[in-house]
């Protein structure tokens, strides 16, 4: 009987020791609707430091790419509002324009895009709006989420029909399918 009690107590202690060493994981929800199951090491001013399960390697991700973090205890920390559900051709309004290279750091390049105003525009403002919409639609067709604007050109003076031309590089939160197919 003492032996049974001793084995039972040893099993109970080893179970409680195992339960205490169990790693509790957190979830990072990124703006592009993907999520990562990780162990959060710390939240800094501009990034989140974490490690993958089963790895001691510490990694970092910019807060501007993260929508929210849900900790293992249920606490949530929101960094950015959700941008959009899914980008399709009709969702061009969700594509974000930027002129800062740091805004697209860590995103995947999906191609070059451009936009040109129509001949029907009568003001420089409407010409710019038309060129912007056309460029955003081209980016949405490539399933892009952001455009790094590389060139803007306004033509037309007093008494002339204004024209506006823009160029940029489209970026996505997701790796382009072409790259994945090339690796297979």
Within-domain flag for 100 = yes
Q: Which domain holds residue 159?
A: 89-183
| Dihedrals phi, psi of 181, to nearest 5 degrees | -65, -35
Residue 144, classed as helix, strand or coil, is coil
pLDDT > 70 fraction of the chain, expressed in percent and rounded: 77
Residue owning tokens 């060493």: 21
76 and 93 in a single domain? The answer is: no
**153-173 average pLDDT score:** 86
Q: Are residues 100 and 77 part of one domain?
A: no
Residue 16, domain member (yes or no): no
Please report whether residue 18 resides in a domain: no
Of 47, 66, 82, the residue that ends a domain is 82
54 and 125 belong to one structural domain: no
Q: How confident is the model at residue 32 (pLDDT cuts 50, 70, 90)?
A: low
CB 61 within 8 A of CB 69: no
- Average pLDDT for 151-172: 87
Alpha-carbon span 179 to 108, nearest angstrom: 10
CA dist 41 and 60 (Å) reads 10
Query: Do 176 and 95 belong to one domain?
Result: yes
Q: How far apart are CA 112 and CA 168, in angstroms?
A: 6
Please answer whether residues 137 and 97 qualify as being in contact, where contact means their C-beta atoms are separated by less than 8 angstroms: no
- 125 and 155 share a domain? yes
Residue-wise pLDDT tens digits, 102-116: 888 888 899 999 999
Mark whether 78 and 93 lie in a shared domain: no
Determine the Cα–Cα distance for residues 28 and 160; give it in Å rounded to an integer. 52
Residue 61: CATH number of its domain: 2.30.30
Q: Quote the pLDDT of residue 114.
A: 94
Domain boundary pick from 58, 82, 106:
82
In a domain, 66, yes or no: yes
Looking at the structure, tell me whether residues 95 and 160 fall in a common domain: yes
Q: Indicate whether 53 belongs to any domain.
A: yes
| Tally of CA atoms within 13 A in the half-sphere of 23 that contains its CB | 13
Same domain membership, residue 113 and residue 58: no
Q: What's the pLDDT band for 92 if we cut at 50, 70, 90?
A: confident
Task: Tell me the whole-structure pTM to 2 decimals.
Answer: 0.53
As to burial, measured by CB atoms within 10 angstroms (0-12 exposed, 13-18 middle, 19+ buried), residue 170 is buried
pLDDT at 168 over 70: yes
Number of domains in the chain: 2
């Amino acid at each position: 009987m003492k032996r049974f009690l001793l084995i039972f107590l040893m099993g109970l202690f080893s179970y409680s020791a195992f339960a205490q060493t169990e790693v509790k994981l957190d979830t990072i929800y990124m703006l592009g609707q993907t999520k990562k199951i990780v162990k959060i090491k710390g939240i800094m001013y501009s990034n989140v430091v974490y490690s993958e399960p089963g790895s001691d390697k510490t990694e970092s991700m910019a807060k501007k790419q993260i929508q929210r973090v849900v900790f293992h205890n249920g606490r949530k920390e929101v960094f950015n509002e959700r941008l959009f559900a899914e980008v399709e051709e009709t969702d061009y309004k969700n594509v974000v324009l930027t002129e800062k290279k740091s805004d697209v750091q860590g995103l995947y390049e999906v191609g070059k895009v451009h936009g040109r105003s129509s001949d029907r525009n009568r003001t420089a403002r409407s010409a710019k709006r038309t060129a912007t919409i056309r460029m955003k639609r081209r980016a949405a067709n490539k399933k892009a989420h952001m455009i790094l604007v590389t060139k803007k050109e306004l033509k037309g003076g007093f008494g002339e029909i204004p024209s506006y031309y823009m160029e940029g590089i489209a970026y996505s939160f997701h790796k382009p399918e072409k790259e994945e197919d090339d690796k297979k």
